[in-house]
Structures are given as structure tokens and as C-alpha cells.
A and B are shown apart, each in its own frame.
Chain A
Amino acid sequence: MSFIKIRNLKYSYKDDEGSPLGIIRDISLDIEKGEYIAIVGHNGSGKSTLAKLLTLVVDDYDYLEGSIEVDGVEITSDDMTEDGIYDLRKKIGMVFQNPDNQLVATIVEEDVAFGPENLGLERAEIRRRVDDALATVGMTEFIRHEPHRLSGGQKQRIAIAGIIAMKPECIIFDESTAMLDPIGRRDVVATMERLNKEDGKTVINITHYMDEAVRADRVIVIDDGKILLDGTPAEIFAEVDKLRGAGLDLPQCTDLTIRLKAKGIDINGEINTPEQCAKAIAAALGK
């Protein structure tokens, strides 16, 4: 059984005149536990709305059709209770774009403890979870610091720790690296990957950075509220025309290799990251 099972999902907003405006136009999708997925798509393609529907944080359910099941529970059912929604948000955590909007306390450890405290856990358990979560994101030494004095990447890692401390099965990163500098971005991506590879968490990274998307095991391209492509990075980034048509780009190394191939130069193997690309080009040159 899939962890997340989406069937014929449709969702609209109301425009000014009150008529529905299609955002999600028929998405069916299965996500298994432990997957590392990147979701890409142009601004307004519907990818963030999809993520919000998975944790039921949209405002208006009048224009929702189809179904979403999470861990065997149909969350789109009319029978969904308040308790059911809390259970859902224990299973799926979200990290958003702007770290400043996600931090609530004046000391790092209190911020991370906020979620577990609200779960009504024992004091010792809260302590354990806060310490473990900060260790996972590599921020233990900042435990008594004030969050607002940290860098963007550090703040974002505190926000992630706050989510980890809730022990969700799945974490959705909704453009969580968009406001970070290169090192902040690298640290957050490394944290995502550690959560997936070492702790077996399901990780969904919604991003505009193609160099992040190529690192996932599976890439889903959303265009105009539908799934345009779904496959491994190698499969997805071979579809140059479809990607460009959807307002997306290629990772630079992929772009380079495709141009060289078009000139009749024979380069084989995976070519999406600088490491893969260097290896393939060196091999083609007989090095």
C-alpha cells in the first residue's frame, strides 16, 4: 500500500467573480515510504497547492474533487475530524520558504520543543527529541542561541529540527532553499538527504533549482495543474523540449552534454551532476 495515494485530484480557487479557477486539474500519484522526490514546475503550476492539500492547510474545500489517502486514511473524506487532521500533521511535516515565518520562540531549544510540547509528551521525551533533532540538523552547539541572530540557512535548519522533533514519516520542503546563500542551501539539502538515507524519512523537495532536483531519486514535473513527467532524473532531464515548454531549464551540465552530443561527440552514462558529467566527458576523451 502506498504511503500517499492521490486519485483524480482536482482543486480550484474562486476568482473575483466567484467562479472556480483550476489549480490542480487531475492528478493521480503514488508515493511510497522512504522515497526521495523532487517536484518542479513553473510559478503557478500548482505544485505548492498540491503540497498544501497533502497537509490540509488550504482555506476552502468547496472546489475539491478526487481523493487523497495518507497512510491508509482518506484525508479528503467528509468524515475527517479535527483529531484526524492533527494525526495527519504528525505524519507529514512541512518546511516553508521563509525561515522567519516559522520560528516562534526566542531560544533555539524552545522553538524546537514547541511541536512536541503541543503533542502533550513527557518532559524527558521532549528533551530527548529536541536534542536528537538538533543533532540531526547539526545545530546542537546553537541550542541556547536566539534564532533571530542566526543566518538564513541556520534558521531553516532550526525550522527543520522543529519538524523532525514531531517525528513525521514524511517531510515536505516547499522551496525551503529559495532564500538561502549557497552554503545555507547545501547544508539544508544535505540535511534532507541525511533524513532520507539514514532515517528512512520520505522527503519531498519542491524546488526551482534543477541542480537540487537531479539529486533526488524521482522527479515529478507539474505543469498547468497536471503531471507532465514523472521518472528518474536521467529520464526527466532527457525530455528537453517538454521541460523548456513548461518554463523550466536543464541542469547546466545536462545542457552542456546535450549540446556536445548534438555536435556528434559521443558521451555516455549519467550526466546530470558536475561529478557525473566530468566522469563521462573524461571517459569520452579516453582519460
Chain B
Amino acid sequence: MSKITVENVSYVYSGGTPFEMAALNDVSFEIKENCITGIIGHTGSGKSTLVQMFNGLLRPSSGRILLDGRDIWENPKEISSIRYRVGLVMQYPEYQLFEETVEADIAFGPKNMGLSEDEIAERVRESASFVGLSESDLKKSPFDLSGGQKRRAAIAGIMAMRPEVLVLDEPSAGLDPAGKNTIFDGIKKYAESTGSAVVIVSHSMDDMAKYCEDIIVMSHSRVAMKGKRNEIFCRGDELEEIGLGVPQITLLMRLLCEQGVNISQDIYTVDDAEKALSELFGGAR
């Protein structure tokens, strides 16, 4: 079922001045419940503008954002309540940590929601476990954590509000491979155990292929493609034309095909490639 519907949304920066620039141009798509949706696009394609629309940080110049079928700007005075329902993790969220302990930082959101002490404690614990922070990490000052841990603490702070939609803008930028995997696994756990809609913005085709079911491709302020990930990644030439690429494994499958190997082109993760190639080698023997 559709959780968020983006309906003919346009957004213009510096409207009415000589610097007027359309950041979004008649954008429409749906974000589904119980689903991880990936948004990809080149730098400046409008992705970050778009994610700030989901929780009402920016208001569309025209068009509507519907949450559960209701326009989030129906009553502008109530827009702040939308921010508990749609949690946004911005780029480099670790710069926003400020409390004395990690525990207090994660608890900040739920506290502002006016929840009971017990409920807050439970949510802090649950969110910490999603992102792999230990009991002893919770007692530390955020500034004594490593870069990757800080990022995870910041994400846990949003998860603790249990948003119905969790939106993350480049959650793994600048992290090493192990740190990146821990974050994506945590996001996946949150999605599975809460049934929330999750939206991830990323430049990494490999991560998108691994974690997202639906993909939206943005290019020059418009939606260039939308669909299931296999419907998107099989259009490699088009993706390259708009400044993106395909996952490495998809590229490998294409190269194999060019060398005369008869293999499915609908493969984008190492696991799937291993399966398909094992069969191929097994069949040859």
C-alpha cells in the first residue's frame, strides 16, 4: 500500500529572482509500506530537495505530498507532527549529536514526544540494538565514539521515534566497508521489525542493488525511471547516459554476455551471481 504519494511536485529555489532555479519539476511517485525504496541520481538531480519534502522541511511550490492519503500541508500549523511520523536522517548526522551520553542523545526525540520513562528506555535499547551499539556504548559521551559509531548513534536517535517512514540521505558516505555494512544491516532490521517504509538516498549502485526493492532514478529535477530494482538495473545504457552506472556485478554479467556466455542479465548481487554461475559451471560438466 502507498505510504507516501508524491503528486506532481515542483520546487523552485529563489523564485521570482534572476537566480530562479527549478530543483524539482513535476515529480510523481509512490513510497510503499513494508518496503525499502532507493532514490538514486547524479549530484544536483534534486534528490536532497526531494527528501526534505517528505517531512515538510520544504514545501512544494506546486503539487502535493500525501502521507496515508492526506496532504501533509492540509493544516500547515500541524506540520511539526509530521516530523515524528516521517524521520529524516540528514547527511553526516553525527555532527548533530550534542547530549552528554549516547543514551541521552538517542532519548532526545522520544522525550520530546512526551513518552513515559519506561517507554523511552525501551525504545533507546531497541534502537541501539538495531544499529549494533552495546550497553556500554550507551553510557559513553558521543565524542568518545568512532566516526562510524557516531553515525549509528545519530541514526538510532531517529529510529527511537519509531517513524512510520524512515528517510536516510547518504547514510554510508565516508564510512569504511565494515561500518557501511553495519549501518545498512541496521536499517534493514528496522524495516523488517517495524514494517515501516524506508527511503535511502545513495550514490552506491552496489548498495542499492543489495538492499532496495524499489528504485526511483532522478535526473535533472525529474523522475527518469521508477520500478522494481530488476526493472531499473537492466537499463544499463540509459543509466550511464544520465550519469549513473550499474552495480559491478550487473556490469560483469553484461561483459560475460558479450563474451558469448549465456547467463541471465537479471543479476545484481554477489549472492545471485554465485548461484547462477555455479549452475552454469555445474551444467557444463
**Which residues in B have their C-beta under 8 angstroms from that of A265?**
277-278, 281
Instruction: With A44-B146, A183-B243, A274-B255 as known contacts, state yes or no: A175 contacts B174, CB within 8 Å.
Output: yes
Q: Which of A56-64, A80-88, A226-234, A246-254 contacts B (4 or more CB under 8 A)?
A: A246-254
Q: Known interface pairs A178-B174, A247-B176, A249-B178. Does A282 touch B42 (Cβ–Cβ under 8 Å)?
A: no
Instruction: Contact check, A44 vs B277: say whether CB atoms are below 8 A apart.
Output: no
Whether A43 is near chain B, meaning CB under 8 Å from some CB there, is yes
Nearest residue in A to B176 (C-beta to C-beta)? A42
B43's partner among A151, A253, A278, A285 (CB-CB below 8 A) is: A151
Q: Which residue of B lies closest to A185 (CB)?
A: B203
With CB as the reference atom, state the residue of chain B lying closest to A211.
B248
Residue B227 at the A interface, CB < 8 A?
no
**CB <8 Å contact, A181 and B243:** yes
Please name all residues of chain B whose beta carbon is closer than 8 Å to the beta carbon of A186 when the two chains form the complex.
Answer: 245
- Complex: chain A residue closest to B170, CB-CB: A179
- A120 CB–B CB distance under 8 Å: no
Q: Do B249 and A252 touch (CB < 8 A)?
A: yes
CA distance A251 to B248 in the complex (A): 9
Determine if A43 and B281 form an interchain contact, defined as CB atoms under 8 angstroms apart: no
Known: A42-B179, A184-B42, A211-B248. A178 touches B173 (CB 8 A): yes
Evaluate whether A253 and B175 lie within 8 angstroms (CB atoms) in the complex, with A183-B42, A285-B284 already known.
no
User: Is there contact, CB below 8 Å, between B270 and A255?
Assistant: yes
Q: Which residue of B lies closest to A184 (CB)?
A: B43
Given contacts A251-B248, A282-B259, contact A260 B284 (CB under 8 A): no
Least CB distance, A245 to chain B, in whole angstroms: 10
Q: Is the CB of B260 within 8 A of A274?
A: no
Chain A residue contacts of B244, Cβ below 8 A: 181-183
| Residue ID in chain B nearest A262 by CB atoms | B274
Q: Does A147 contact B (CB under 8 A)?
A: no
Contacts of A249 in B (CB 8 A): 177-178, 181
B206 within 8 A of A: yes
Contacts of A278 in B (CB 8 A): 252, 255-256, 258-259
> Is A167 positioned at the interface, with any CB of B under 8 Å from its CB?
no
Given A186-B245, A249-B178, A260 and B281 touching (CB < 8 A)? yes
Inter-chain CA distance A184–B174, complex, in Å, is: 15
Interface size on B, residues (CB 8 A): 41
Contact with A along B36-48 (1 / 0, CB 8 A): 0000011110000
Residue in chain A with minimal CB distance to B246: A182
Question: Which chain B residues numbered 248 to 273 have a C-beta less than 8 Å away from chain A?
Answer: 248-249, 251-252, 255-256, 258-261, 270, 273
In the complex where A208-B174, A247-B178 touch, is A274 in contact with B146 (Cβ < 8 A)?
no
Which residues of chain B are within 8 angstroms of A141 by Cβ–Cβ distance? none
> Contact at A210–B252, with CB atoms within 8 Å?
no
CA distance A210 to B270 in the complex (A): 15
Check B178 against A248 for contact (C-beta < 8 Å): yes
> Does A152 interact with chain B (Cβ within 8 Å)?
yes
Binary contact track A176-204/B, C-beta < 8 Å → 1, others 0: 00111111111000000000000000000
Distance (Å) between the CB of B212 and the closest chain A CB?
16
The closest CB in chain A to the CB of B240 belongs to A183
Q: Which of A175, A178, A181, A277 contacts B252 (CB 8 A)?
A: A277
Q: Enumerate B141-191 residues with CB–CB distance to A below 8 Å.
A: 146-148, 173-181
Residues of B within 8 A of A277 (CB): 252, 255
Given contacts A181-B42, A278-B255, contact A252 B270 (CB under 8 A): yes
In the complex, what residues of A have CB within 8 A of residue B280's CB?
Answer: 285
Kindly report which residue of chain B lies nearest to residue A284, judged by CB atoms. B281
Q: Which residues of A contact B255 (CB under 8 A)?
A: 274-275, 277-278
In the complex, the chain B residue whose C-beta lies closest to that of A264 is B281
Q: Is the CB of A285 within 8 A of B261?
A: yes
Contacts of B41 in A (CB 8 A): 181
Which of B176, B178, B281 interacts with A285 by CB under 8 Å? B281
16 pairs, A vs B, C-beta closer than 8 Å: A41-B176, A43-B175, A151-B43, A179-B174, A181-B203, A182-B203, A208-B177, A247-B177, A248-B177, A249-B181, A252-B249, A252-B252, A256-B270, A278-B255, A282-B259, A286-B284
- Enumerate the 4 nearest inter-chain pairs by beta-carbon distance, A residue then B residue, closest first: A278-B255, A249-B177, A247-B178, A282-B259
11 extra A-B contacts, CB within 8 A, seeds A43-B179, A274-B255: A42-B179, A43-B175, A179-B173, A181-B243, A182-B203, A256-B274, A265-B278, A265-B281, A281-B256, A282-B261, A286-B284
Chain B: residues with CB nearer than 8 A to chain A? Answer: 41-44, 146-148, 173-181, 203, 205-206, 243-245, 247-249, 251-252, 255-256, 258-261, 270, 273-274, 277-278, 280-281, 284
Q: Which residues of A contact B (CB under 8 A)?
A: 41-44, 97, 151-153, 175, 178-186, 208, 210-211, 247-249, 251-253, 255-256, 259-260, 263, 265, 274-275, 277-279, 281-282, 284-287
